[in-house]
Amino acid sequence: MPRKWTEWPRRQLDQLEELIGAGLTYAQVAERIGRPESEVIGAAQRIGLQDPARMAWRRRTDWPEIERIMTDCIEAKLMTIPQTRQYLIAVGHPVSLGGLYERLKTMPRDLQRRARANGKKRRAACCSRMRRRQEVQRKRQQEAA
């Protein structure tokens, strides 16, 4: 069932802008305007009132350290991006895999190529191990028969 949506009158949008400008929280604004908090947040985002300071808790301040560790993992330890993520988690820098891939896009091309090459080498090594295991299993089956 689709949600009911009501259009915001111009006076409410003006009031929203005024109250957010005064520094009120979304909950306080919602109470004064008489709308749910989720609608207030959505309206603020739609008309461009979302203050970057309100989203500051989402911003990481440790990206320079994470980038240094990423570079070290990719170049010196020959790790893939998923392995680098596991290492970062282990050393106390939890980060999403998607976040690492997005960050890698902004890093130098040679580092991106190295990360791709590390992934190819890892996949080749895994395939090689699987082939050897299969060969050993075949030999055992032939000896047992």
pLDDT for the residue 45: 86
Question: Could you count the other beta carbons within 10 Å of the beta carbon of residue 81?
Answer: 19
> Do 87 and 68 form a contact (C-beta atoms < 8 A)?
no
pLDDT for the residue 7: 85
pLDDT for the residue 57: 55
Query: Tens digit of pLDDT per residue, the chain (145 long)?
Result: 566 777 889 999 999 999 988 888 889 999 999 999 989 988 888 888 876 665 655 677 888 999 999 999 999 999 999 999 999 999 999 999 999 999 999 999 999 999 999 999 999 998 899 999 999 999 999 988 7
49: DSSP letter: -
77: DSSP letter: S
What is the biggest distance separating any 2 CA atoms in the chain, rounded to whole angstroms?
A: 86
Structure pTM? 0.56
